Each structure stands twice: as C-alpha cells, then as structure tokens.
Amino acid sequence: MHTQVGIIGAGPAGLFLGQLLDRAGISSVILESRSREAVESTIRAGVLEHWVVELMTELGIGERMHREAHFHDGITLQWEQQRYHLDVTELTDGKRVAVYPQHEVLKDLIAARLADQSETIFGVSEAAFHGVDTETPSITFRREGMGELETLRCDYVIGADGFHGPGRQMIPKSLRREYQKIYSFGWLGILTQAPQSWPELIYANQAQGFALLSTRSPDVQRMYIQCDPADDIANWSDARIWEQLHERLETDDDWSLTEGPIFQKGIIPLRSFVCEPMQYGRLFIAGDAAHIVPPTGAKGLNLAVADSVVLARALEAQFRHNNHALLDAYTNTCLRRVWKGERFAWFMTTMLHRADGDGDFEQRMQMADLDLIRTSRATATSIAENYIGLPFD
C-alpha cells in the first residue's frame, strides 16, 4: 500500500490536512486508533477563529456550520461581580468567532473525506513510524480484527496524533527541546440540558476560582469551573457543581444562572507545552502532538488547524514544484505563530485563575489587567485580535 502522505490521527490537525491535500490533488491515508463513533462524539473545543470559519467555507465543508453555529460578536469578562462586554467585532473590523463544537467540525471533515473517497482507517492498533530519516518512510499498523501488520509506504509521514501519540517521540531526544508549564489547577467541565443564560461566553474571575459559561446549542450548555486537577469527579455531586457555578458567575444585579440536568462531567489538567523542532527527516508533527495550551484562550484547535495549513502549502510546493523551501521552514513558520498563541493562553489563564501560591499581589495584578482591558482601547484591541486569531505571515 502506498500513499503520498501518511497521517496518524483523525483529529482536527489530521483531518484538515487531509482535506487540504485532497484539494491540492495529493493523496493521503489517515490512520486512527479510535472508532469513527468515538471521534465524532468526544466533547472538546468549542470556539473557531474567524479564519477557520472562512477556511471551512472555502473547502466546501462550511454549510452545516453556517446553519448551526452561534456567531458571537464578543466575549464577556467578569470580575468583582460585574460584567464587561469586550466587543471583539467592533475592535477587529467586523470579525466574529463561531461557537461550533470540535466534534461537529470533525463530522463535517469525515463526511467530506468519505465523499472524496480518500482513505481513513479507524480502529487501528500498533501504528508506528519507520524510516522517517530516509526517503522511504512508512507506517505499520494493524486493522481492527485483522491478524497481520500492514505497511503503508509514504513519501512523507505526519504525526497529527495528539499529545500522547508516537509522532513526537520519533524526533531524537538529542535534537528535541521541550518547553512546559503545568498549572496547579484543572477544569471541571459539564454539559447540561438547559437554555442559554447569557448571549455570549462569560470568563469569570472570582475568589473561589475561575468559571466559564459557554454553549453548545439552544438547549445544551457547556460550563467549566477551576478545580484541583487531582480531584476525583466522584467528589463533585451535581448540587456541588451548581453551587460553585452560581457563586462564581453571580453578579451584583438580579441575573441568575438557569440550571438543568447534567449529562456529562469530567476533570482535565491544564498545561502549556511546546516541542521544537516540529520536523525530523520526512516526519512532520502538527497540532497537540507539538504544542498544548490551556483552554482559557480557546486556541488549541485553532493552532492545530494553522499547522495543517502551513504543512499543506509546503507539501504542495514540494509535490508540484519540487521546492522544499517551505517544508524546511515548517518549524519556524509554525512556531512563530504558536508562541503567540501560547502567550495569549497563558496570559488569559494567569489573569483569570487563582493559582497555588498566589497572594494579594497577584490578585491586584489581575484586577489591574482586567481594568486596563475595560479602560484602554489599545489593550482591549490586543485581546480582541488574539481571540479572533492572529494573521498568518
């Protein structure tokens, strides 16, 4: 079995790359360890930057998103029980973010890939890269329920395999530099069958810790509260979660949060991580395989798609014109923008959470940052530009 580009991982990075390669007439095979049903139902990110909406439209996979997404003109920041509307659209010449869940994006990408008859093999095990520093790299894998290992011979191989996948580990340790920050807090996230309580996302800084009010559909809402990352979800009864959400999102007027049955809940740790380089020989890594951000800036999925855009352009230059300059520049091109996403996610996280060891000084810094956003148009514009998605070089 031979393909031009062999990809491990059917997340946003792998599936966007596959779609972009299809459009450029370059063949690819995507190998994914989970089932299609699992990929299409795992709850993760919710916010698409302005240019990702445009990209989906250009790729012809935006129809359902345009119908079902919520387009938001801004976000609400809350501190000292008061709300401030950051008018992202006004501050960025009319750009809007879309609240459209990651798994819905993946459904649209998988449907398009099936229609194009490009191969995606779900449920594979033991996927492994070989010969990545040669001109004939390959991936071995086992299909679900099959006895023998198969070999996929490729011109290039891609690790779009998330933070725990095998891709990054193929870059020799002696060449790899990893930057990491682990936060002292995590997020407890819920899905609830309830109507929307507020027309846009609320990011709240509160004495008990951060809270985020987001949405999924008119009758399903997504909410998060800062918690101990080592805590057991079994310690969080629905009543306790609602009590904390009420307390952290409460305002000094008569607004109130509408409750509903909680049908999904879980705790995730928060980390910032960057791996350098993002390439070794004919292996390229993209998305969470190469970098992780805490979700406070809503950047993770968007950074993953950005890597795929850079990589698809570079592979096209190589296959069409035998020009490897863009492939050679892949790490630098991606990381220049990635570090700005890392900075924004870290900044939003630091401004909005209570970290272990933080005292009165850190809290006053947070209040000063928030008040600057409220009173300085230049500061507010900077937040809006980062939230909507920075331009590509």
Contacts with ligand RFL, residue ranges (CB under 6 A): 8-14, 31-34, 39, 44-47, 102, 124, 127, 160-162, 165-166, 189, 268, 287-288, 295, 298-302, 304
Q: Which helix (H) or strand (E) holds 204?
A: strand 202-205
Name the region of 182 (left: φ>0; alpha: ψ -120 to 50; beta: rest): beta
Interacting partner of 257 out of ligand RFL, ligand PHB, none (Cβ under 5 to 8 A depending on kind): none
Catalytic-residue membership of 85? no
Closer to ligand PHB by CB, 18 or 46: give it.
46
Task: Tell me the angle at which helices 377-388 and 330-352 cross, rounded to the nearest 10 degrees.
Answer: 130
| 278-297 residues near ligand PHB, rule: CB under 6 A | 295-296
Rule CB under 6 A: say whether 88 interacts with ligand PHB: no
Catalytic-residue membership of 295? yes
Distance CA 171, CA 166 (A): 10
Number of neighbours of residue 41 by Cβ within 10 angstroms: 12
Distance CA 105, CA 49 (A): 13
Interacting partner of 77 out of ligand PHB, ligand RFL, none (Cβ under 5 to 8 A depending on kind): none
Closer to ligand RFL by CB, 127 or 249: give it.
127
Residue from 15, 39, 47, 204 in contact with ligand PHB (CB under 6 A):
47
Residue from 201, 211, 283, 370 in contact with ligand PHB (CB under 6 A):
201
Distance CA 288, CA 269 (A): 14
Q: Which of 100, 183, 203, 330 is catalytic?
A: 203
Amino acid code (one letter) for 234: A
Closer to ligand RFL by CB, 357 or 391: give it.
391
Catalytic-residue membership of 12? no
Catalytic-residue membership of 299? yes
Least distance from ligand RFL to the Cβ atom of residue 143, Å: 12
Distance CA 158, CA 65 (A): 27
Interacting partner of 112 out of ligand PHB, ligand RFL, none (Cβ under 5 to 8 A depending on kind): none
Closer to ligand RFL by CB, 121 or 372: give it.
121
Least distance from ligand RFL to the Cβ atom of residue 32, Å: 5
Interacting partner of 296 out of ligand RFL, ligand PHB, none (Cβ under 5 to 8 A depending on kind): ligand PHB
CA nearest 59: which of 128, 121, 123, 115? 115
Q: Is 36 exposed, middle or buried (0-12, 13-18, 19+ CB in 10 A)?
A: middle
Rule CB under 6 A: say whether 192 interacts with ligand PHB: no
Residue from 298, 304, 315, 352 in contact with ligand PHB (CB under 6 A):
298
Least distance from ligand PHB to the Cβ atom of residue 99, Å: 6
Q: In what order do the strands lie in the sheet with 70-72?
A: 47-48, 97-99, 70-72
Distance of CA 189 to the CA centre of its chain: 15
Catalytic-residue membership of 130? no
Tokens of 249: 């999102």
Residue from 6, 9, 14, 46 in contact with ligand PHB (CB under 6 A):
46
Q: Which of 101, 224, 295, 353 is catalytic?
A: 295
Closer to ligand RFL by CB, 14 or 137: give it.
14
Distance CA 352, CA 348 (A): 6
Cβ–Cβ < 8 Å for 110, 10: yes
- C-alpha distances (whole Å) from 289 to each of 167, 258, 301, 307, 318 are 7, 38, 12, 11, 23
Interacting partner of 13 out of ligand PHB, ligand RFL, none (Cβ under 5 to 8 A depending on kind): ligand RFL
> Is the peptide bond between 137 and the residue preceding it cis, with omega within 30 degrees of 0?
no
Q: Kindly report the CA angle at 1 between 9 and 11, in degrees rounded to 5?
A: 10
- C-alpha distances (whole Å) from 201 to each of 14, 148, 184 are 28, 49, 24
Residue from 33, 214, 226, 318 in contact with ligand PHB (CB under 6 A):
214
Interacting partner of 113 out of ligand RFL, ligand PHB, none (Cβ under 5 to 8 A depending on kind): none
- Residue numbers annotated as active site: 72, 203, 295, 299, 387
The footprint of ligand PHB (CB under 6 A) covers: 45-47, 201, 214, 222, 295-296, 298
